[in-house]
Amino acid sequence: MKKTGALLTTTVLMAGLLAGCGSNGKESTAAEAVLKDGKYDPPITINIAKQQDENAGKYINGESLNDNVLTRWGVENLGINIQTTLLGGDASQYNTKLRLALTGSEKLPDVLPVYDTSLENDLIQSGLVKDIAEDINKYMPERLKEIYKQYPTTFNPVIQDGKVYGMAISPNLTEGEVMLIRQDWLDTLNLKAPTNIDEFEQVIAAFTNDDPDGNGKNDTYGFDFSGKDSYNTGWVSDSVMIFSAYTGKSLPGQWYNDNGKLTYGSVADGTKDALAKLRDWYSKGYLNKELATQGAWDALADFTEGKAGIIIGRPWLYGSVKDVETNVKGAKIKAYPTINGVSGDRTYQSGQQNDGVFMFNKDFNNMEAFFLYYDKLYDAAFGTGDFKYGYAQGYDYDIVGDEVVFDSKKFNTPLDAAQGVGKMAFTKNTPSVDGPGKSFYDLSKGAKAENGVLIRSASNDETAKEGYVISYENRESLLPNAFNGPPTKTMQTTWEQLNTMEKETFTKIIYSKEPLTAYDDFVKQWHDKGGTKISEEINEWYNNASKVDVMSQMGLK
């Protein structure tokens, strides 16, 4: 898409006047709009809700939430005006606004991205969102159908009584985590990257005790991770590898399908051994002392400042910590696969298949238009159509001479940072079909960078590219949570208490504030205070989830 100039204000105003509220039909002329050659005439408006994250809401060229390069593209090319009418910042604020909409205190938009399974269930029970099974069958383009066929379990949270009240947002198996290690420290101490738990311990001990930075001070440690919210973050500053080394596929905070029965990882055999190991490492100074108070993003600081030797996260994490290579003389980071477990098998980690679901106002009658727009956003994922290289030239990519570039400082009009146009979309992130990193793997095997996806992947830092190749080669390590449904009856009253007990027990054991036997007490209390009943309810949900063949109803089989 070439750089879009400012659309005449009158055009945008006319689009809004013609479209009206877009959902209830009382003020809308949407029924009069005709789809001709892929564009609505007159234009229609689709109102959306949006949760912005830390990278969203940053605009250039005087643009704004409802007037930017992507919204103007929609009007000009599709006759579809996307307008955000319910906006939230962090997850809590956004969920609060959606709940206010349930009471009528906020207006419920046409399209609702929802990221909380409890709220999804409440929306269904309210009767304010629609069954979209027939709409998917009738209007979803074949390209999208082929994607959704691969992820049938993503519909589980929004299926009730054989009806489908939503669909996953951009389903795609995310990339896996890798170890980012200070290679210069390994070289200085004549060590190799660890491949098992014993070697890992040897490396982090040396990183703590043997002055790897050569400054003559006892100011480094081995392993940097977050324990504030969960011992299974699933994205960065993660420690789940250590648990999996002892528990295999049973991960803390996650449900695993063990031969048809769902079991909870935090009470699985081996968890106590993992806690014992972390407790020992903490007492010896191998771990960050503030792990229980640092969130996943905050925990990066020690690694970036050159104090820690190993951190675990998705391959793009390198871009967030690579400043250490600039700020610390001689620093070098290298990506490695996660270690094997004590059994010799691989270790496992959480695999995310989607970030929330789309739900739709029961009065919304423009599903065909929604699917037209949504499908076009996928051009960026496939490297086709208007978005062959990115969403907007001069924003998230540029063509300098004959070269497609993604380094914003090399743009024809340089930018301090590339504009995150994908963050402007109702998907919140640019849709992807690259999975754990297929494009990077293909490039490593000699594929030519001939479309936007491959060119963008090829433009990454070498360390990040190596990490993505590792991610793809180890994609079998990714385990999506087997339970993705709404909270069960018992969960609604006891799950928060059980979670709090879990986090407190794990942290106190690691900090040596409780004996290791406190874990046995926790497991007993977990079962007695609702865990057993919750397990029964979750397995009942799981058994019922596949009883109705909704995939056939939607034309996705």
Contact 392/3 with Cβ under 8 angstroms? yes
Q: Does residue 30 surpass a pLDDT of 80?
A: no
Residue pointed to by tokens 């324990």: 227
Calculate the alpha carbon distances from 263 to 250, 267, 476, 519 in Å.
8, 9, 20, 17
Q: Does residue 39 surpass a pLDDT of 80?
A: yes
Determine the Cα–Cα distance for residues 431 and 170; give it in Å rounded to an integer.
5
Determine the Cα–Cα distance for residues 421 and 61; give it in Å rounded to an integer.
13
Average pLDDT over residues 427-447: 96
Average pLDDT over residues 483-487: 91
What pLDDT shows up at residue 57?
A: 61
Query: If pLDDT is split at 50, 70 and 90, which confidence band does 35 have?
Result: very high
Average pLDDT over residues 165-185: 97
DSSP 27-74: S--GGG-EEETTEEES-EEEEEEEE--TT-S---TT-BTTBSHHHHHH
Query: If pLDDT is split at 50, 70 and 90, which confidence band does 450 have?
Result: confident
What pLDDT shows up at residue 215?
A: 96
In this predicted structure, which of 330-334, 352-356, 472-476 has the lowest mean pLDDT? 352-356
| Percent of the chain as helix, strand, coil, to the nearest 5 | 40, 15, 45
Q: Does residue 13 surpass a pLDDT of 50?
A: no
What would the pLDDT profile of 387-403 be if each residue is shown by its tens digit?
999 999 999 999 999 99
Determine the Cα–Cα distance for residues 508 and 189; give it in Å rounded to an integer.
33
Across the chain, mean pLDDT equals 92
Q: Which stretches within 364-431 are classed as H helix?
A: 367-377, 379-382
**Amino acid sitting at position 347:** T
Portion of the chain with pLDDT greater than 90, in percent: 85
Tokens of 360: 């739709």
What pLDDT shows up at residue 451?
A: 87
Query: If pLDDT is split at 50, 70 and 90, which confidence band does 14 have?
Result: very low
What pLDDT shows up at residue 11?
A: 38
What would the pLDDT profile of 239-271 be if each residue is shown by its tens digit?
999 999 999 999 999 999 999 999 999 999 999
Average pLDDT over residues 47-57: 79
State the CB neighbour count (10 A cutoff) for residue 202: 15
Confidence (pTM): 0.88
Query: If pLDDT is split at 50, 70 and 90, which confidence band does 377 have?
Result: very high
Determine the Cα–Cα distance for residues 164 and 27; give it in Å rounded to an integer.
28
What pLDDT shows up at residue 32?
A: 81
What would the pLDDT profile of 284-329 be if each residue is shown by its tens digit?
999 999 999 999 999 999 999 999 999 999 999 999 999 999 999 9
Maximum distance among all alpha carbons in the chain?
Answer: 77
* Closest CA relative to residue 117, chosen from 449, 546, 483: 483
What would the pLDDT profile of 55-85 be if each residue is shown by its tens digit?
566 789 999 999 999 999 999 999 999 999 9
Average pLDDT over residues 177-187: 98
Query: If pLDDT is split at 50, 70 and 90, which confidence band does 31 have?
Result: low
What pLDDT shows up at residue 54?
A: 59
Average pLDDT over residues 4-32: 41
Determine the Cα–Cα distance for residues 315 and 110; give it in Å rounded to an integer.
36
Query: If pLDDT is split at 50, 70 and 90, which confidence band does 219 have?
Result: very high
Q: Does residue 524 surpass a pLDDT of 80?
A: yes
Tokens of 48: 């959306």
Average pLDDT over residues 153-165: 93
Average pLDDT over residues 98-108: 89
Q: Does residue 339 surpass a pLDDT of 60?
A: yes
Q: Does residue 25 surpass a pLDDT of 50?
A: no
What sign does the dihedral 127-129-134-137 (CA atoms) show? negative
Q: Does residue 2 surpass a pLDDT of 80?
A: no
Average pLDDT over residues 368-374: 98
Q: Does residue 5 surpass a pLDDT of 70?
A: no
Q: Does residue 20 surpass a pLDDT of 90?
A: no
Q: Does residue 15 surpass a pLDDT of 50?
A: no
